[in-house]
Structure 1
Amino acid sequence: MSGPFDQPALAVLVEGSRTYRDRAAAAGIRLGVLGSGQRPRVMLIACSDARLVPSLITASRPGEVLELRTHGGVIPRFEPEPHAGEALTIEYAVSTLEFTDIVVLGHSHCEVVDVDVADRIADGTEPTTWSTGDFTAAGHAHVLRQLDILSDYACIAPRLADETLRLHGWYHELETGSTLSYRPHASAFLPL
């Protein structure tokens, strides 16, 4: 008779969950402290793509980074009411946890970006042939669009003005493991 956890993919997750306490202890993570509340200083907004693992990329530990994962890393435009779940998370991070930094992390081979490009090609608004560099540029532009949307949030704009909050645009290349950061002075994404 088979049990509910006999599926290979789920079995890996079950085993990882069963060994978490031991792995956390080996890594010096004090689980008891995590129960007393969170005080991360950085929020990271990223795509929900399973190939992108922000905590692995940044080597962050439990409690250090608040992650918001959405389809394509898309941030909804600010609306005074009603707030979407993403907007509530952003407000909580900025107003309650008083973050000093928010990173928007895009990535190569993002389905949202690729579909957007394909739609523009089908509409005839873009050339019919694109190179890898063109898709990379589209991914970079997507990150910058999300930063623009984020900067319009009512809780963010004043913090940007008084320089108590910084926004960062990063782009991770899945195939190389490299992460680039947008540098406004160079108008380019450059290695971290």
Structure 2
Amino acid sequence: MQPFTDHVRGFAARNSAHPQALASLAREHRPLAALVTCSDARVVPSLITGARPGELFELRTAGNVVPPYRRHAVCAVAASLEFAVEQLRLPDLIVCGHSHCAAVRCLLRRRPGADLPLLHRWLAAAAGYRRPAEGPLPPGPADEHLAGAAQRHVLTQLEHLRTYPWVERRVRAGQLRLHAWYYTVETGQTLAARVPGASTFEAL
């Protein structure tokens, strides 16, 4: 914790030589894109994308989950999406999953979740990983199953996004583009699916 505290204490002083850089952020909020990704500390959106302050609207959830739209639900994810799409009018919306994702591992295991009951309830209610056509899940959390499962999980979240009326309306009007990304922690490589209708991920 101490290195973080030391950095915070000196942040304003380090930026005092270029006061307009931060002042311009106070005058307007105009990100270039929105990105939904996992809360995992190994996934650092600004590091991966090269985004500067003010350029990327970030929404982080356990397992980069986007719950399906429910009109009367009180949901931080839905509220943030509404702001990004309706207020900021962002032209691009990315869902980015990643390798070694503990949330996807939990989905594969189908454990009762007594150890992490809130996480398991969140995933069970919102993730929507399984579809009847997919057949039985793999019996364990082996890495060879995990990458494919995490990528399918990302595509499911894009399906959930399109249940939001304002998202679907802008997609159909050609005003919003949806993107599916998968970040590989150990190599730094990001893969993308050619949506809609994609089932495989390729290098960007």
TM-score (norm: length of structure 2): 0.80
Flag the 1:34–1:144 CA change in 2: closer, same or farther, 3 A. Answer: same
The one-letter amino acid of 1:162's match is A
The answer to whether structure 1 residue 20 and structure 2 residue 11 are counterparts is yes
Instruction: Tell me the residue number matched to 2:121.
Output: none
Is the contact made by 2:152 and 2:199 (CA closer than 8 Å) also made in structure 1? no
> Which segments of structure 1 move beyond 6 Å, counting only runs of 4 or more?
25-29
1:134 corresponds, among 145, 148, 170, to: 145
Question: Could you give the per-residue CA deviations for residues 138-163 of structure 1, whole angstroms, max 9, x where no partner exists?
Answer: 00001001000001101101111111
Tell me how far apart the structure 2 counterparts of residues 54 and 24 of structure 1 sit (CA, whole Å). 22
Instruction: Tell me the residue number matched to 2:105.
Output: 114
Is the contact made by 2:37 and 2:64 (CA closer than 8 Å) also made in structure 1? yes
The one-letter amino acid of 2:38's match is C
Question: Could you give the per-residue CA deviations for residues 19-41 of structure 1, whole angstroms, max 9, x where no partner exists?
Answer: 33455578998011111120112
Tell me how far apart the structure 2 counterparts of residues 13 and 36 of structure 1 sit (CA, whole Å). 27
Instruction: Report the RMSD for the aligned CA atoms in angstroms.
Output: 2.3
The answer to whether structure 1 residue 102 and structure 2 residue 93 are counterparts is yes
The one-letter amino acid of 1:174's match is V
Unaligned runs of 5+ in 1: 1-9
Flag the 1:80–1:56 CA change in 2: closer, same or farther, 3 A. Answer: same
Tell me how far apart the structure 1 counterparts of residues 12 and 153 of structure 2 sit (CA, whole Å). 38
Aligned length: 180
Tell me how far apart the structure 1 counterparts of residues 83 and 34 of structure 2 sit (CA, whole Å). 10
Tell me how far apart the structure 2 counterparts of residues 22 and 189 of structure 1 sit (CA, whole Å). 44
Q: Secondary structure at the match of 2:97?
A: strand
Flag the 1:129–1:35 CA change in 2: closer, same or farther, 3 A. Answer: closer
Q: Secondary structure at the match of 1:142?
A: helix
Unaligned runs of 5+ in 2: 112-135
2:169 corresponds, among 125, 146, 158, to: 158
TM-score (norm: length of structure 1): 0.85
Alignment of 1:1-192 (within 5 A): 10-21=1-12, 30-119=21-110, 125-128=136-139, 131-184=142-195, 187-192=199-204
